[in-house]
Chain A
Amino acid sequence: EPEVTQTPSHQVTQMGQEVILRCVPISNHLYFYWYRQILGQKVEFLVSFYNNEISEKSEIFDDQFSVERPDGSNFTLKIRSTKLEDSAMYFCASSENRDTGYEYFGPGTRLTVL
């Protein structure tokens, strides 16, 4: 079965540093997402991406965050200057379409900001 993959599985960084989280969505999917989950809390939507542009973003997704699809297979989330509160699991997801499909989630990247 096709799956979403993410790298790295765990990223440790110092506060103020930039991090890039990488994802390879399922190949025939058109919609891409980032979600995050702070330890013990619910999964929160960050951003959706379709047709090479952001289609929706949450209040969490401020100017410190950006997304990019640099080539035909990768989808990245960049945090420019990490804060302690950015520590969380970051999940990438993709779906074939919005109206009739559900999101397939990757295994996540655990980001720890020290």
Chain B
Amino acid sequence: GESVGLHLPTLSVQEGDNSIINCAYSNSASDYFIWYKQESGKGPQFIIDIRSNMDKRQGQRVTVLLNKTVKHLSLQIAATQPGDSAVYFCAERNSGYALNFGKGTSLLVTP
């Protein structure tokens, strides 16, 4: 069936480096994509979103890139900080109400 998945289950980066978290999706009808951050014991927290009519969107220290040709989504975090350590999920929605989440990438920021 249609699925959203992540390329790497864990990512370790040094403080101050840039992080890139990747996500592949298979539903070409998806028109809305979100990145969520989940810290231990907490609910998913919105980071940034992008619609299918865009290929790039920037926020504060974060950038989301969407490549519809290869159905790939990435989250770039600039100058990664220890507080960025968490699990990151991509999620997509097509015509319905449900968000379809990927499996998550654990980001570990080391000093």
Contact B99 A103 (CB under 8 A): yes
Contact with A along B38-72 (1 / 0, CB 8 A): 00011111100100000000000000000000000
Contact B98 A56 (CB under 8 A): yes
Supposing A42-B104, A58-B98 touch, asked if A108 and B42 sit within 8 A by C-beta, the answer is: yes
Interface size in chain A (residues, C-beta < 8 A): 24
Q: At the interface, yes or no: A76 with Cβ under 8 Å from chain B?
A: no
Interface size in chain B (residues, C-beta < 8 A): 20
Q: At the interface, yes or no: A65 with Cβ under 8 Å from chain B?
A: no
Contact with B along A40-77 (1 / 0, CB 8 A): 01111100101000011010000000000000000000
Contact A102 B49 (CB under 8 A): yes
- A98 contacts which chain B residues (CB < 8 A)? 97
- B25 contacts which chain A residues (CB < 8 A)? none
- B104 contacts which chain A residues (CB < 8 A)? 42
- B99 contacts which chain A residues (CB < 8 A)? 33, 35, 43, 45, 103
Tell me the minimal C-beta distance from A9 to chain B in angstroms: 9
